[in-house]
């Protein structure tokens, strides 16, 4: 008897729930948390740091009396409300009120993206890779992976919310409101993490699961935007979106907690739904049937460019939709922004533009620069598919054919460069369409030419991404120069960087000022892109495929 | 030098690990060549060098007399490859992948493609992410076998196939060979190698340990013999080339070196031979012989040094013991 008791005691210590459905959950949670030990704190610090930075920087920029109120006036514009928030407390527009109105929604989106990726990474991606099968074959309860996932999601969001609340309270903003601000982020993360938990049950592929959850997030943001644009303080459509609910908590204006509870309630309902779905399906299967496809490849589908396009087309389409919509919105803001710059001439100078004759053109040029940075981010991901293919062994399958090494790289390179050009044109077209009333119809061509001045620069980032892949270095290295260039381009004037640095910053160096482009810099970017691409091709031709086979890594 | 594959003294190191350490491999035109070795012995590394994916550190590597690294594209028009671990593009269907790989190689025979799809019972309209391991392998196999390539490089191509599909595979490979194709087949399924291969190479820890036809390799190992005689015949234990003599249910069992069989049979005849069964070593026994060397180096050396004196021959019992050992090894 004593042996039995000892054995069962040992079992109990292995997992809190013994042999029940939660067996092994503690161990799983530890393993999951270990994988996230850098990522989640990095998100928490980044978001809190960025918010704190803006809270500190804004009073410096809006130093003149009445300047913030002027910004509050712009926020009444439907186009501004569409992007920012419902606009509570606009009549006394202080820094915390501005954060709640303009930053909260976008920060919730960031936390939601983190949460949905986290959930998919630990559920469907694990299942797709076959690792869940290994786990479930071990003495691990049926509900243990899901339960550990929920605890992990809660912990990650609690950390992010607490960090943000601490940062805001530390800046001297009201304690209860600061806690509510952090709690709103956490609640937003929970809801969209729960959405991902549901989509992960519905589809067999991790990418589709994350993509579907991302589409729900985008829809939620657009819905609340439309509602907020319809009427100040939010319309019916604002109440159709959890992000709208969270903004309705009126943080820093007249705080109310119940919208937060409503959001958390939705998260619980969604998690319960995900659980109900999970017990109704087999391991590895989705509930939505996988569609059948063609039995023969098209002529284009038999080529490397066709293959590259096949893998990228949805991503390109998403970028195109996002850039176009945002560009139209920014363009529609033109009139209000120009008004703000007229009231606040220093602001334009701080954003890196010389104050001067044509405010509209300068404003458009500034927007264009922001979009060029976004396109650079797209271009910087050009090697993702190549890496995934090589890790999975598909590159070997391609190279075992009568295929030159450079062709394998050339297809994604050309595709990324072409897509960057299309995105830049979409940005200029969207800005032009949005600002048609201010600019007049003739400006569209000029805008397109100005946008294309950034094209060679975008190609540089594509080529740099491919070079890193060819040298089998982590793609994260690209973000050092790209992140530095973007920070210098966005905040350089604000940080009082010396002019030499600002001139060297590539986005500023393209100098699309009032649509007149500096030809030499653009040409120079083209040359750099060609040199980087040639280096990438040469390096890839010389190295082993797969690169890390049996290596020390 | 006029072989399809000619590898001599091949060396490849990954960091401080020497994956290949002087490997030799020769594949003659038109033969189905088995390429055997324990896990991690360097088979896939060798194949990747033959495909020009990895660059050799030292040694000679020729494929159709050319350099597989420098002339990769031209050589790949003449060969087709099936990897052991097939991963495919999840958004594509099986049929699309077959056409893509076929086109990249320089086209494939549409009639043969359709027939192979039917033989392998593969649905080409399903997206590859919904395929099982065996179905993914079928995709790569159909693409390779329908290509009409001069050389098929198959790296453990059937590890996910069921026995019926294994038969389809063997028929398809024989058909390719009958057409004049050369096949390099790396495999752990010894029945498959025994059924298909004319010659084979066994490697271990990056070196070639045995190479030749199956008959040649068998000659290097002993046959298991069981006899019934009228008079007690234990004395034959003294004959050269006879090992591990013991009695089992009235039958005398022992193993005999290749070449000593004639003198043994003659000696047995003098004792009034009732019945005799002689079993030549199976490929499995040959293979396990080398595997065991791998798992127990000291034992291997002792056996090599004391060959003829040890009393554990390469009989069935010994093989079982060795298999058990391998099973227990981590």
- A106 burial type by CB count under 10 A (0-12 exposed, 13-18 middle, 19+ buried): middle
Listed range (A78-92, A234-248, A329-343, B196-210) with the worst mean pLDDT: A329-343
Q: Whose structure tokens read 């890779």? A: A129
Listed range (A176-190, A372-386, B273-287) with the worst mean pLDDT: B273-287
pLDDT tens digits, one per residue of B207-257 = 998 899 888 877 777 788 888 888 887 788 888 888 888 888 778 888 888
Is-contact A40 A162, C-beta < 8 A? no
- Residue B73: list chain A partners with CB under 8 A: 402-404
Per-residue tokens: A89: 């407390």
The length of chain B in residues reads: 330
Whether pLDDT at A352 is above 90: no
Q: Quickly list DSSP for B53-69.
A: SS--SEEEEEETTB-TT
Is-contact A25 A141, C-beta < 8 A? yes
3-state secondary structure A150-185: HHHHHHHHHHHHHHHHHHHHHCCCCHHHHHHHHHHH
Mean pLDDT of B68-74: 92
Tell me the count of A-B CB pairs closer than 8 A. 133
If you average pLDDT over every residue of chain B, what do you get?
A: 83
The pLDDT > 70 percentage for chain A reads 88
Q: How far is B312 from chain A (nearest CA, A)?
A: 37
Give the residue on A whose Cα is nearest the Cα of B78: A402
pLDDT tens digits, one per residue of A109-149 = 999 999 999 999 998 888 877 777 777 777 777 778 888 99
Listed range (A187-191, A540-544, B3-7, B318-322) with the worst mean pLDDT: B318-322
Cβ–Cβ of B99/A302 closer than 8 Å? yes
> What gap in Å lies between CA B211 and CA A46, rounded to an integer?
61
pLDDT at A537: 95
pLDDT at B51: 93
> What gap in Å lies between CA A343 and CA B126, rounded to an integer?
62
Hey, of B50, B54, B68, B147, which one would you mutate to test binding to chain A, going by the most A CBs within 10 A of its CB? Answer: B54
Burial annotation A505-517 (CB, 10 A radius, 16+ → b, else e):
bbbbbbbbbbbeb
Q: How far is A334 from chain B (nearest CA, A)?
A: 41
User: Which residues does A contribute to its contact with B (CB < 8 Å)?
Assistant: 128, 204-205, 207, 290-297, 301-304, 306-307, 310-311, 392-394, 396-405, 544-546, 549-552
Of the candidates A315, A114, A126, A289, which has an alpha carbon nearest to the alpha carbon of residue A206?
Answer: A126
pLDDT at A285: 67
pLDDT at B308: 36
Distance of CA A272 to the CA centre of its chain: 27
Q: Confidence band (pLDDT; 50, 70, 90) for B273?
A: confident
Is-contact B33 B27, C-beta < 8 A? yes
- A381 burial type by CB count under 10 A (0-12 exposed, 13-18 middle, 19+ buried): middle
Q: Confidence band (pLDDT; 50, 70, 90) for B296?
A: very low
Distance of CA B149 to the CA centre of its chain: 21
- Residue A547: list chain B partners with CB under 8 A: none
Whether pLDDT at A512 is above 70: no
Q: How far is B94 from chain A (nearest CA, A)?
A: 7
Q: Confidence band (pLDDT; 50, 70, 90) for A265?
A: very high
Q: How far is A21 from chain B (nearest CA, A)?
A: 28
- Residue A401: list chain B partners with CB under 8 A: 76, 101, 104-106
Whether pLDDT at A38 is above 60: yes
Listed range (A117-121, A160-164, A331-335, A467-471) with the worst mean pLDDT: A331-335
Cβ–Cβ of A402/B74 closer than 8 Å? yes
Listed range (A16-30, A272-286, A320-334, A352-366) with the worst mean pLDDT: A352-366
pLDDT at B172: 96
Hey, of A391, A402, A472, which one would you mutate to test binding to chain B, going by the most B CBs within 10 A of its CB? Answer: A402
The secondary structure of residue A422, as a DSSP letter, is: H
Cβ–Cβ of A403/B73 closer than 8 Å? yes
Q: How far is B97 from chain A (nearest CA, A)?
A: 8
Hey, of A129, A205, A397, which one would you mutate to test binding to chain B, going by the most B CBs within 10 A of its CB? Answer: A397
Whether pLDDT at B165 is above 70: yes
Is-contact B276 B307, C-beta < 8 A? no
Whether pLDDT at A251 is above 70: yes
Q: Which of B55, B105, B140 minimises the CB distance to A402? A: B105
Of the candidates A258, A235, A253, A117, which has an alpha carbon nearest to the alpha carbon of residue A184?
Answer: A258
If you average pLDDT over every residue of chain A, what do you get?
A: 84
> Could you give the residue ranges of the DSSP H alpha helices within B179-249?
190-196, 214-219
Cβ–Cβ of B53/A311 closer than 8 Å? no
Listed range (A297-301, B214-218, B311-315) with the worst mean pLDDT: B311-315
Whether pLDDT at A517 is above 80: no
pLDDT tens digits, one per residue of A423-463 = 999 999 998 888 877 777 777 788 888 899 999 999 999 99
Q: Quickly list DSSP for A188-248.
A: HHHHHHHHHHHHHHH-S-HHHHHHHHHHHHHHHHHHHHHHHHHSTT--GGGGGSHHHHHHT
Cβ–Cβ of A400/B81 closer than 8 Å? yes
Whether pLDDT at A377 is above 50: yes
pLDDT at A174: 94
Q: Confidence band (pLDDT; 50, 70, 90) for B310?
A: very low
The secondary structure of residue A90, as a DSSP letter, is: G
Is-contact A454 A448, C-beta < 8 A? no
Whether pLDDT at B272 is above 90: no
pLDDT at A460: 96
R_g of chain A, CA atoms, integer Å: 26
Q: How far is B7 from chain A (nearest CA, A)?
A: 19
pTM equals 0.72
Mapping DSSP to helix (H, G, I), strand (E, B) and coil, where does residue A508 land? helix
Listed range (A9-18, A445-454, A468-477) with the worst mean pLDDT: A9-18
Q: Confidence band (pLDDT; 50, 70, 90) for B270?
A: confident
**Better pLDDT: B76 or A330:** B76
> What gap in Å lies between CA B115 and CA B200, rounded to an integer?
30
Cβ–Cβ of A549/B48 closer than 8 Å? yes
Longest dimension (CA), chain A: 93
**Better pLDDT: B314 or B210:** B210
pLDDT at A354: 57
pLDDT tens digits, one per residue of A300-314 = 999 999 999 998 888
Cβ–Cβ of A401/B105 closer than 8 Å? yes
pLDDT at B292: 66
Per-residue tokens: B281: 């070593």
pLDDT at B121: 95
pLDDT at A27: 86
Is-contact A157 A190, C-beta < 8 A? yes
Whether pLDDT at B114 is above 80: yes
Hey, of A401, A411, A546, which one would you mutate to test binding to chain B, going by the most B CBs within 10 A of its CB? Answer: A401
Whether pLDDT at A266 is above 90: yes
Q: How far is B127 from chain A (nearest CA, A)?
A: 7
């Amino acid at each position: 008897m004593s042996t039995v008791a000892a054995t069962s005691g040992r079992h109990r210590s292995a997992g809190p729930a013994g042999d029940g459905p939660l067996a092994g959950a503690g161990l799983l949670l530890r393993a999951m948390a270990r994988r996230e030990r850098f990522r989640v704190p990095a998100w928490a610090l980044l978001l809190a740091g960025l918010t704190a930075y803006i809270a500190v920087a804004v009073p410096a920029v809006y130093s003149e009396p009445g300047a913030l109120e002027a910004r509050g006036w712009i926020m009444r514009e439907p186009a501004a409300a569409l992007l920012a928030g419902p606009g509570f407390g606009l009549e006394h527009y202080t820094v915390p009120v501005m954060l709640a109105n303009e930053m909260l929604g976008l920060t919730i989106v960031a936390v939601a993206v983190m949460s949905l990726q986290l959930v998919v990474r630990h559920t469907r991606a694990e299942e797709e890779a076959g690792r869940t099968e290994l786990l479930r074959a071990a003495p691990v309860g049926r509900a243990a992976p899901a339960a550990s996932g929920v605890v992990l999601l809660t912990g990650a969001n609690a950390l992010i919310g607490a960090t943000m609340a601490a940062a805001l309270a530390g800046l001297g903003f009201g304690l209860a409101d600061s806690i509510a601000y952090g709690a709103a982020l956490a609640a937003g993360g929970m809801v969209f993490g729960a959405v991902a938990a549901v989509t992960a049950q519905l589809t067999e592929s991790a990418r589709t699961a994350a993509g579907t959850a991302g589409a729900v997030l985008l829809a939620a943001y657009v819905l609340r935007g439309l509602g907020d644009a319809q009427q100040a303080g939010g319309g019916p459509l604002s109440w159709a979106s959890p992000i709208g609910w969270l903004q309705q908590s009126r943080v820093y204006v007249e705080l109310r907690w119940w919208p937060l509870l409503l959001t958390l309630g939705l998260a619980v309902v969604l998690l319960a739904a995900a659980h109900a779905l999970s017990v109704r399906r087999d391991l590895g299967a989705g509930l939505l049937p996988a569609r059948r496809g063609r039995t023969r490849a098209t002529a284009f589908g038999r080529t490397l460019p066709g293959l590259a396009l096949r893998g990228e087309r949805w991503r390109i389409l998403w970028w195109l939709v996002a850039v176009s919509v945002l560009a139209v919105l920014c363009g529609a803001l033109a009139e209000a922004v120009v008004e703000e710059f007229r009231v606040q001439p220093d602001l334009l100078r701080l954003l890196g533009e010389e104050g001067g004759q044509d405010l509209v053109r300068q404003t458009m040029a500034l927007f264009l620069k922001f979009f060029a940075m976004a396109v650079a981010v797209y271009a910087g991901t050009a090697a993702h598919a190549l890496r995934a293919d090589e890790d999975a062994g598909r590159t070997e399958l391609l190279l075992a054919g009568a295929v030159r090494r450079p062709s394998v790289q050339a297809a994604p390179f050309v595709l990324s460069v072409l897509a960057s050009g299309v995105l830049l044109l979409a940005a200029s077209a969207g800005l032009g369409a949005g600002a048609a009333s201010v600019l007049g119809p003739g400006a569209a061509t000029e805008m397109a030419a100005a946008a294309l001045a950034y094209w060679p620069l975008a190609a540089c980032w594509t080529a740099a991404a491919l070079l890193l892949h060819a040298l089998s270095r982590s793609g994260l290295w690209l973000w050092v120069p790209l992140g530095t260039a973007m920070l210098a381009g966005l905040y350089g004037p604000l940080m009082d960087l010396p002019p030499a640095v600002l001139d060297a910053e590539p986005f500023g160096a393209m100098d699309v000022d009032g649509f007149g482009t500096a030809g030499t810099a653009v040409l120079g970017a083209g040359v750099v892109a060609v040199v980087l691409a040639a280096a990438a091709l040469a390096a890839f031709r010389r190295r082993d495929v797969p690169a890390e086979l049996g290596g020390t890594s | 030098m006029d072989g399809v594959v000619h590898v001599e003294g091949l060396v490849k190191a990954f960091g401080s690990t020497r994956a290949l350490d002087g490997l030799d491999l020769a594949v003659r035109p038109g033969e189905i060549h088995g390429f055997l070795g324990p896990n991690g012995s360097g088979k896939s590394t060798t194949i990747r060098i033959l495909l020009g994916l990895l660059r050799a550190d030292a040694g000679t590597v020729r494929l159709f007399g050319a350099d597989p690294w420098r002339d990769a594209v031209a050589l790949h028009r003449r060969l087709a490859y099936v990897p052991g671990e097939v991963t495919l593009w999840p958004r594509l269907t099986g049929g699309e992948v077959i056409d893509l790989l076929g086109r990249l190689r320089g086209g494939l025979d549409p009639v043969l493609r359709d027939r192979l799809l039917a033989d392998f019972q593969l649905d080409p309209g399903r997206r590859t992410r919904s395929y099982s391991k065996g179905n993914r392998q079928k995709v790569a196999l159909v693409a390779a076998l329908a290509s009409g390539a001069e050389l098929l490089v198959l790296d453990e191509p059937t590890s996910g196939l069921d026995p019926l599909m294994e038969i389809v595979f063997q028929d398809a490979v024989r058909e390719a060979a009958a057409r004049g194709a050369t096949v390099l087949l790396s495999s752990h399924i010894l029945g498959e190698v025994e059924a298909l291969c004319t010659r084979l190479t066994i490697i271990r820890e990056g070196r070639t340990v045995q190479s030749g036809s199956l008959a040649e390799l068998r000659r290097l190992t002993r046959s298991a013999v069981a006899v019934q005689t009228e008079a007690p015949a234990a004395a034959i234990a003294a004959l050269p080339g006879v090992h591990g003599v013991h009695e089992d249910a009235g039958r005398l069992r022992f193993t005999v070196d290749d070449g000593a069989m004639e003198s043994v049979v003659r000696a047995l005849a003098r004792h009034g031979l009732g019945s005799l069964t002689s079993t030549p070593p199976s490929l499995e026994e040959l293979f396990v012989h080398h595997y065991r060397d791998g798992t127990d180096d000291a034992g291997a050396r002792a056996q090599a040094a004391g060959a003829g004196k040890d009393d554990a021959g390469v009989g069935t019992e010994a093989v079982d013991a060795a298999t058990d050992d391998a099973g227990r090894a981590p």
